[in-house]
Amino acid sequence: MTQFGYVMTAMATPFDREGRLDERRAAELARRLANGGSESLVVAGTTGESPTLSDQEKIALFRLVKEAVGDRAKVIAGTGTYDTAHSIHLTKEAARAGADGILLVNPYYNRPSQDGLYAHFRAVAESTALPVILYNIPGRTGVNCLPETVARLAEVDNIVGIKEATGSLDQASEVRKRTPRDFLIYSGDDSLTLPMLAVGGTGVVSVASHLAGEEIGKMIRAFHAGDISTALALHLRLWPLFKVLFITTNPVPLKAALRLAGFDAGAPRLPLVEATPKEQEQIRAVLGELALLPVAV
């Protein structure tokens, strides 16, 4: 077991009917996740719609989620931005709010070089005593933090791992080869969790764990215990869920799925819009197959 566990949930951010942060529902969702197999909660990440959250909303989320889950789950604060100084500011605020760790996404839009990525991540890490997890998602940020850069960053004392969301097992393998064994590698894609474990991964930063956290945890634990057949069976059972939650931009399908499953987290904020009727039917069909819909009474 690692300091953050095997199942880290990229938590959705609930909004009310007017599109405002719904703090009551956020605390309720955090408790629901902690009770449902999530060992850590990533707050204000991609799934949490970080681009449309204000600093005040992010800081409020860090605080209220930590208060809601206490010691039952770690709270990992998404504080990375395309501005190093701003990222340092948010990181310090997250520490004051009680966060247990920091998730730092690649600086997006300005597309720094590998030396720029190294300097950015190191500067933010050195501004805090909290453990830092890198978040490499080139499809969102326009820049790939290459394995050799990750290896350099792994030498910084409090940079302890990476959320690897390139979709490339080759890159994950290279990261594993170049980093110490205690450097944590989390899959950034639910559908690649099991293959990622096979090349030295630790666990997953999951979206599907909103709905199947305990089963995902069983899959990962079975793999680490050497029970590959059980891990594979769980992976194949959950595969339709992993895929349907990404039929359009995350977290649009997730918010539709949560509503169908009986937990309304509100609509996504513009420029994201709700799932289409066709997409909702696809999601409903998968939830029905997995018995994740509310039982009619």
Mean pLDDT value across residues 270-293: 98
Assess contact for 91 and 103: CB atoms under 8 A.
Answer: no
- At 1, is the pLDDT very low, low, confident or very high (cuts 50, 70, 90)? very low
The pTM for the full model equals 0.96
pLDDT per position as a tens digit, 90-104: 999 999 999 999 999
User: Which regions of 147-213 does DSSP assign to beta strands (E)?
Assistant: 159-164, 184-187, 203-206
User: For residue 296, what pLDDT is reported?
Assistant: 58
Strands 184-187 and 159-164: parallel
User: For residue 90, what pLDDT is reported?
Assistant: 98
List the catalytic residues. Answer: 135, 163
pLDDT per position as a tens digit, 206-260: 999 999 999 999 999 999 999 999 999 999 999 999 999 999 999 999 999 999 9
User: For residue 188, what pLDDT is reported?
Assistant: 97
CA distance 10 to 29: 12
Closest CA to 45 of 29, 31, 62, 32: 62
Closest CA to 106 of 132, 82, 79: 82
pLDDT per position as a tens digit, 109-119: 999 999 999 99
Closest CA to 26 of 39, 44, 40, 8: 44
Q: Which fold has domain 7-234?
A: TIM Barrel (3.20.20)
In the chain, what are the domain boundaries? 7-234
Query: Does residue 165 carry a pLDDT above 50?
Result: yes
**245: amino acid identity, one letter:** L
Closest CA to 126 of 154, 153, 156, 103: 156
Tell me the average pLDDT of the chain: 97
pLDDT per position as a tens digit, 246-277: 999 999 999 999 999 999 999 999 999 999 99
Query: Does residue 297 carry a pLDDT above 90?
Result: no
pLDDT per position as a tens digit, 166-184: 999 999 999 999 999 999 9
